[in-house]
Amino acid sequence: MAREVPAVSPADRPLALLNARIVDPAARLDAKGALFVRDGRIEAVVTDGDPGAVGADYETLDAAGALLIPGLVDLRAKTGEPGFETRETLRSASEAAAAGGVTTFVVQPDTDPVIDEASVVDFIRRRARDSSLVNILPAGAATQGCLGERMAEIGLMAEAGCVYVTDADRPIMNSKVMRRVLAYAKGFGMLVAHRPADPWLSEGAAATSGEFAGRMGLPSAPPEAEKIMLERDLALVEMTGARLLADQVTTACALEALERGKTRGLPVFASTSINHLTFNEIDIGDYRTFLKFDPPVRGEDDRQAVIEALASGLIDVVVSAHAPAPPEDKRLPYAEAAPGAVGLQTLLPALLAFHHDGRIPLIDLIAAMTVRPADLLGLPCGRLARGAPADLVLCDLNAPLVVDPDALKSRSRNTPFDGRRLQGVVQRTLVAGRVVFSV
């Protein structure tokens, strides 16, 4: 079922993007060509020769060989609005997203108030429509207050426009409640996203159990905490037939459970974050709190297993896990610091590192940020097909980039990529054919 995306005013003039390297994972296309936009939608994609004379009514842009891909779709981002606007507003998050080539992102429901009823869903959609540069879609809470005790009004939130339900960082401990959420969500064709983490094992953990955590003196949780909860969720999916997104799978043992579930044909999907693809526990160094995430960074063996799972397609989606935090929440002892990092603006260049290293084909990397997340939510974006929304990114694939926190658009600057050298610079981002970011 195709979902309606909040309206962004289309560009006034049709646009012709010429001499681009067009990569569209949905069509398995990687070719030189031209793309034409009219009334906010893709009018034509020409890759089989000279596009011919361009009409006088078109605005033309010579891409000069730059990479042209669908706008990124990020399934997991947090803002501070409503309730914590000093961390991030919908507007500032949209500016960071536009600068990073993210044209659609899903905001998490653990705000204040929690997005657990239709009126708050409607508020987010209206605020996004009035203030955002990109498409912002709300996720609804699976349980009231994200407390895991009583199911939220999933049906009413679905009608109001939420795109999936989740309790964000909080696992739903009560299996009866989780079963009800899955069964009820299935009736509305609603995806359920759930963090696989056994709360009794992982509560208070700042690191992954092992030699490193012991040497650093950090409270830790075993990797099996992720596997245990995922195994339970897979059993409940088998009972209910509901669609489940395992939210940020980060350990090799959980990947084994995920593979068994997929092999049995269960409607289960998985995401991982760019942070867990990039960093391991050694990167914490001298207690770098910008490397404190939830789930925590893992050992190198787990990181390599996650990379291989993305390459094989076992992991479906990569998310930014954008979680802004002010300095006063990060400049604390490691175990006490707030988890999370900003990531909307660095998602694309950080993921392109796996292309430059020859680990994962470019078209598959882009699929994990475009067509796959779009298809999970039934969105028409994430592809370069005629009639699709003209949400586009032009990127210089090989341009060097040194991440400077002061250059980030987010209100918070808690990036683990501070000073990191990457390759891939977003030149232009378009939403509905309208340029929302340009270098």
Last residue of a domain, one of 351, 377, 403: 377
Q: Which of 325, 328, 330, 318 is nearest to 342 (CA)?
A: 325
pLDDT confidence tier of residue 12, bands split at 50, 70 and 90: confident
The token pair that represents 390 in the structure block: 């003209």
Evaluate whether residue 50 is within a structural domain: yes
Evaluate whether residue 384 is within a structural domain: no
Please check the confidence at residue 49 and state whether its pLDDT lies above 80: no
Evaluate whether residue 2 is within a structural domain: no
Q: Are residues 91 and 214 in the same domain?
A: yes
Residue pLDDT, tens place only, 133-186? 999 999 999 999 999 999 999 999 999 999 999 999 999 999 999 999 999 999
Q: Are residues 199 and 158 in the same domain?
A: yes
Q: Are residues 85 and 159 in the same domain?
A: yes
CB 46 within 8 A of CB 1: no
The token pair that represents 189 in the structure block: 């064709």
CB 14 within 8 A of CB 57: yes
Distance CA 137, CA 98 (A): 15
Q: What is the pLDDT of residue 187?
A: 96
Q: Are residues 159 and 267 in the same domain?
A: yes
pLDDT confidence tier of residue 378, bands split at 50, 70 and 90: very high
Q: Are residues 373 and 428 in the same domain?
A: no
- Residue 152, domain CATH: 3.20.20.140
Q: Are residues 288 and 358 in the same domain?
A: yes
Q: Are residues 45 and 194 in the same domain?
A: no
* Inter-helix orientation angle 300-312/252-263, to 10°: 30
Can you give the C-alpha Rg of the chain in angstroms?
21
Q: Are residues 169 and 27 in the same domain?
A: no
- Residue 424, domain CATH: 2.30.40.10
Helix (H) or strand (E) holding 126: helix 118-131
Evaluate whether residue 4 is within a structural domain: no
Q: What is the pLDDT of residue 1?
A: 46
Structural domain of 235: 71-377
Please check the confidence at residue 2 and state whether its pLDDT lies above 80: no
CB 271 within 8 A of CB 219: no
Distance CA 287, CA 279 (A): 14
Q: What is the pLDDT of residue 5?
A: 57
Q: Are residues 51 and 167 in the same domain?
A: no
Q: What percent of the chain has pLDDT over 70?
A: 98
Helices (H), 199-248: 199-202, 211-216, 224-240
Evaluate whether residue 324 is within a structural domain: yes
Evaluate whether residue 53 is within a structural domain: yes
CB 199 within 8 A of CB 384: no
Evaluate whether residue 6 is within a structural domain: no
